[in-house]
């Protein structure tokens, strides 16, 4: 299917607060390249793992959205707090958007399908249009579980605060270079990596399963997102906590969940059942 670059929904009004913030972060990310500092880059790497792997992959996505496994409440809250560092919105907004995406994937109502334009799917949907403005009825319908939890409600309102606190700590630790790398470059890199799951993995890659959407498995997106790029596997088995279903599909988020299990901090883990041979033959997800 030929995909438009921009699409009709690009004509909606600009979300100015988001657009200005994104512009500022991209400028800061470029500025970081003029302050090469090993300590600052290591801080960015650690925060990228915390935000992208612990927070988005293990927390927002596989735990909160799909309930692919269970953890003690304090672990859930910790992973959620890590997720706010990605600057992708609070947990209630993120989970609602992703659950809507699965219900309407690549059909009318999908918040970020490439069928509305490649740029739209990547970042246009948050820069323009109504994708950032779920009303109370939508939140109550798609996220009733988190909407009843005072911590998730509070964190959804103040999700940006974690980056302010971390930014001040980085400033005190190493000055401007630490802030540029640990906040601006790391956040911008993480955002584009996540956005590639919305755009690239619905455009390019291989399809092991026949699904009602255009989802694909894309190895290089998987590397950038700790395993989220095995997107066709995921759409075929949404509740599976493991997305890399073959031995060669590296899934660091699954490894992280497995470590939690080994520590006694994760249980009731849902995994797509894999037949012994060949690796490409996958049964339906089972608890």
Task: Match 């980056």 to its residue by tokens.
Answer: 163
Q: Is a pLDDT exceeding 90 seen at residue 139? A: no
Per-residue pLDDT band for 12 (boundaries 50, 70, 90) equals low
Give the residues across from 272 on adjacent strands. Answer: 285
280 assigned to some structural domain? no
Q: Is a pLDDT exceeding 70 seen at residue 6? A: no
Q: Return d(Cα 240, Cα 88) in angstroms, integer.
A: 23
Please tell me the predicted confidence (pLDDT) of residue 279: 38
Task: Match 């797509």 to its residue by tokens.
Answer: 272
Q: What angle, rounded to 10 degrees, do the helices at 91-103 and 73-84 form?
A: 90
Q: Is a pLDDT exceeding 80 seen at residue 89? A: yes
Number of domains in the chain: 1
Cβ neighbours of residue 7 closer than 8 Å, sequence gap 6 or more: 115, 116, 117, 118, 119, 120, 124
Q: Return d(Cα 37, Cα 54) in angstroms, integer.
A: 25
**Mean pLDDT of the chain, nearest integer:** 90
263 assigned to some structural domain? no
Q: Rounded to 5 degrees, what angle do the CA atoms 180, 183, 188 make?
A: 95
Q: Give the single-character DSSP code of 282.
A: E
C-alpha radius of gyration, the chain, whole number: 19
What is the span of the domain harbouring residue 149?
8-205
269 assigned to some structural domain? no
56 assigned to some structural domain? yes
Mean pLDDT of 239-256: 97
Please tell me the predicted confidence (pLDDT) of residue 1: 44
Q: Is a pLDDT exceeding 70 seen at residue 234? A: yes
Q: Give the single-character DSSP code of 217.
A: B
SS3 14: strand
Q: Return d(Cα 19, Cα 56) in angstroms, integer.
A: 22
Closest CA to 225 of 197, 198, 249: 197
Mean pLDDT of 70-81: 98
Q: Return d(Cα 139, Cα 29) in angstroms, integer.
A: 33
Mean pLDDT of 233-245: 97
Whether 123 contacts 22, CB under 8 Å: yes
237 assigned to some structural domain? no
150 assigned to some structural domain? yes
Mean pLDDT of 66-92: 97
282 assigned to some structural domain? no
257 assigned to some structural domain? no
Q: Return d(Cα 241, Cα 272) in angstroms, integer.
A: 8
């Amino acid at each position: 299917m030929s995909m438009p670059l921009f699409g009709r929904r690009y004509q909606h009004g600009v979300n100015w607060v988001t657009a200005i913030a994104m512009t500022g972060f991209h400028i800061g990310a470029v500025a970081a390249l003029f302050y090469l500092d090993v300590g600052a880059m290591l801080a960015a790497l650690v925060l990228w793992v915390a935000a992208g792997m612990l927070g988005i992959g293990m927390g927002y996505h596989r735990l909160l959205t799909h309930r692919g496994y269970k953890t003690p409440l304090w672990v859930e809250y910790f992973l959620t707090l890590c997720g706010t560092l990605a600057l992708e919105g609070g947990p209630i907004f993120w989970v609602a958007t992703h659950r809507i995406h699965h219900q309407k994937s690549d059909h009318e109502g999908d918040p970020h399908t490439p069928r509305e334009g490649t740029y739209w799917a990547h970042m246009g949907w948050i820069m323009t249009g109504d994708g950032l403005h779920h009303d109370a009825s939508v939140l109550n319908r798609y996220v009733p579980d988190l909407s009843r939890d005072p911590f998730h409600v509070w964190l959804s309102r103040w999700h940006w605060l974690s980056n302010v606190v971390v930014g001040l700590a980085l400033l005190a630790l190493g000055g401007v270079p630490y802030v540029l790398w640990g906040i601006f470059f790391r956040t911008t890199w993480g955002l584009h990596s996540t956005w590639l799951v919305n755009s690239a993995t619905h455009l390019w890659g291989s399809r092991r399963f026949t699904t009602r959407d255009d989802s694909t498995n894309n190895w290089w997106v998987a590397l950038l997102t700790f395993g989220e790029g095995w997107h066709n596997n995921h759409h075929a088995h949404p509740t599976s906590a493991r997305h890399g279903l073959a031995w060669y599909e590296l899934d660091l988020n699954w490894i992280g969940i497995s470590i939690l299990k080994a520590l006694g901090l994760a249980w009731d883990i849902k995994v797509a059942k894999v037949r012994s041979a060949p690796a490409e033959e996958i049964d339906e997800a089972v608890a």
